[in-house]
Amino acid sequence: MIGDVIKRSLRQRSPVIPVEALLGNCDGSRMPEIVADHLTPAIAQKLIEVCPTSALGIEEREGRRCLRLSYGQCIGCGKCAETGQGAVAVARQFNRCGVAKEQTVRLWDIDGRAEVTPPALNAEEARGQIHSLLQRALNVRQLDAGSCNGCEAEITALTNPYYDLERFGIHFVASPKHADMLLVTGPVTRNMAEAVKATYDAVPAPKLVVAVGACGCSGGIFAGSHAIVGAVDAVIPVDGYIPGCPPTPAMLVTGILEVLRRRVAK
């Protein structure tokens, strides 16, 4: 019986997705992007009204009125794209996974119709650096601080034959004591706050912490609840943020490798 299964598997072509096709890929994430040419003050106003998590807002930057999009708060609900009259599109590439918190925010000058924030990173250069990191070892411990299980479903997918995280030398481990990196999902609930701190303390230094998903980055749709303490960084220090609700496996791969790259580049 088992022989049949193995034979069957061997007959099929490996579905593994090359790393080049994963980095920056955000298909299926519903992450929005502003199309600056179509931006007007009236549309910007409408956008911030429909956003359920205040991911969209108005912010002054050097005397200019800007539309702010905080990807860490975005749950990809698509309401902005519905009301944006062409000023919002679904992103085709997304390079802000595993970045520092300030880089999860983008600003567009509403009157000038142009983005004022610099690109997150030189994507080509980052890719080159990431390649040199592959096949070293990284032990990851996933920690659910109160998520809805959406992020867990996508993190579990990282071990399937399409993403095959093991090929990069990245393993999921059972104990925080064996981990180099904590991958933390969910808003930190009141009931989990103590366990989150204890888990963080159990990871030997040097350690990396990645906040995963809208809830992990900002509290997401649960921000302000009486039963949550806040985002992951309200409880433990965070090195990188992976937005998305939930982030797709490709975004998770991009984010984990980017956090690693930033650590090595330091």
Residue ranges that bind another protein, judged by CB under 8 A: 1-2, 4-6, 8-9, 15, 27-28, 30, 52, 75-78, 82, 90, 142-157, 159-162, 172, 174-176, 186-187, 189-195, 199, 215, 220-222, 224-228, 245-246, 248
Judged by CB, which is closer to another protein: 23, or 75?
Answer: 75
Judged by CB, which is closer to another protein: 30, or 64?
Answer: 30
Min CB(19)–another protein separation in Å: 17
Judged by CB, which is closer to another protein: 192, or 253?
Answer: 192
Judged by CB, which is closer to another protein: 104, or 199?
Answer: 199
Helices (H), the chain: 2-11, 19-22, 41-50, 79-83, 123-133, 150-157, 193-202, 213-218, 249-265
Min CB(45)–another protein separation in Å: 18
Min CB(90)–another protein separation in Å: 7
Min CB(263)–another protein separation in Å: 22
Judged by CB, which is closer to another protein: 36, or 162?
Answer: 162
Rounded to whole angstroms, the maximal C-alpha distance in the chain is 71
Tokens representing residue 61 in the block: 């930057």
Min CB(129)–another protein separation in Å: 27
CB 37 within 8 A of CB 73: no
14-21: long-range contacts, CB 8 A cutoff, minimum separation 24: 14/161, 15/161, 15/162, 16/161, 16/162, 16/163, 16/164, 16/167, 17/162, 17/163, 17/250, 19/130, 19/131, 19/134, 19/168, 19/253, 20/127, 21/250
